[in-house]
Amino acid sequence: KYQAVIFDLDGVICSTDTYHYQAWKAIADELKIPFNETINHRLRGVSRMESFEIILEKYDKEMSREEKVSWTEKKNEIYKELLKNMSPADLSEEVKSTLDALREKGLLLAIGSSSKNAGFILGQLGLGEYFDAVSDGNNITKSKPDPEVFVKAAQFIGKEPEVCLVVEDAKAGVEAAKAGGMDCAAIGDAVKCGMAEHNLSTFADLLQVVQES
Ligand code: B16
Ligand code: MG
């Protein structure tokens, strides 16, 4: 059934969670806003500005649009600096060999990420030229749970949604896949939401899911 797999990036292909956390923590500390791992959890898969709005729920003053833009830009500068620490060593052997095996089977492989830094991260991992298409935060106007990022990915590779399988680690991403008419394989945190057609206990399980489809 499946002819293409569209992968979320952060939390699926690699883990940038701690970098996002460190960068947001620096901003929250400067603004004296309480911030912890539980709040950080809610930022998975949502856009940069939406993430900041969640952090600001615990801020008791007013903040103008310009100030918000400036703080999110500052967060991104810190985050990008941290991303420089990433290298091909951050790509697990399991992920790389599973991607290669899927490609070997003739499937098209794409990225569907909310991140505007997706291209940079892929480059750091040594996957700059690897995927057949990259749909990311730079080509969308609405972020997950809106399906736009995945719909665009399917268009980029020229496949109908019905033959695409999305792999996601965030509930917002699973919802986005479903809204786009695509099946979803949940991994990690997203398994809990119980909304995906397939649940992966490990990335390599994808091979079986595709084989049995
Ligand atoms: P940026 P994904 C998402 O990536 C992250 O999970 C989320 O935490 C982040 O806020 C969002 O990208 C935007 O990232 O600030 O780099 O544009 O999971 O959709 O690959
Ligand atoms: Mg993710």
How large is the angle between the packed helices 171-179 and 148-157, nearest 10 degrees? Answer: 60
- Residue-level pLDDT at 41: 84
Peptide bond into 161 cis (omega under 30): no
114 is in an annotated binding site: yes
Looking from the CA of residue 117, the nearest atom of ligand 1 is 16
Supply the pLDDT for residue 77.
Answer: 98
Dist CA 200 CA 187 (whole Å): 5
Q: Is 9 annotated as a binding residue?
A: yes
| 168 close to ligand 1 (CB < 6 Angstrom) | no
ipTM of this model? 0.91
CA-144 nearest atom, ligand 1? 19
Burial 118-156 (b: 16+ CB within 10 A, else e): bbebbebbebeebbbbbbbbeebeebbbbbbbbbbbbeb
pLDDT at residue number 148: 98
Determine the pLDDT at residue 205. 97
Q: Which ligand sits closest to the CA of 115? A: 1
Ligand-binding site membership of 183 (annotated)? no
Q: Which atom of ligand 1 is nearest to the CA of 75?
A: 15
**How far does the centroid of ligand 2 lie from the alpha carbon of residue 167, in Å?**
9
> What are all long-range contacts of 38-44, with beta carbons under 8 Å and residues at least 24 apart?
41/189, 44/10, 44/11, 44/17, 44/169, 44/170, 44/172, 44/189
In angstroms, the Cα distances linking 63 to 57, 100, 153, 213 are 11, 47, 35, 50
For the Cβ of 43 lying below 6 angstroms from any atom of ligand 1, the answer is yes
- Per-residue confidence (pLDDT) for residue 35, from 0 to 100: 94
In the reported structure, the alpha carbon of residue 212 is separated from the centroid of ligand 1 by a whole-number distance in angstroms of 31
Return the pLDDT at 45: 81
**Strand ranges across the sheet with 4-7:** 133-135, 108-112, 4-7, 164-168, 183-187, 198-200
Distances (CA, A) of 45 to 48, 104, 174, 197, 208: 9, 29, 10, 19, 26
Give the closest ligand to the alpha carbon of residue 46.
1
- Sites in the chain below the pLDDT cut of 50: none
pTM for this structure?
A: 0.93
The predicted structure's pLDDT at residue 17: 87
pLDDT at position 44: 84
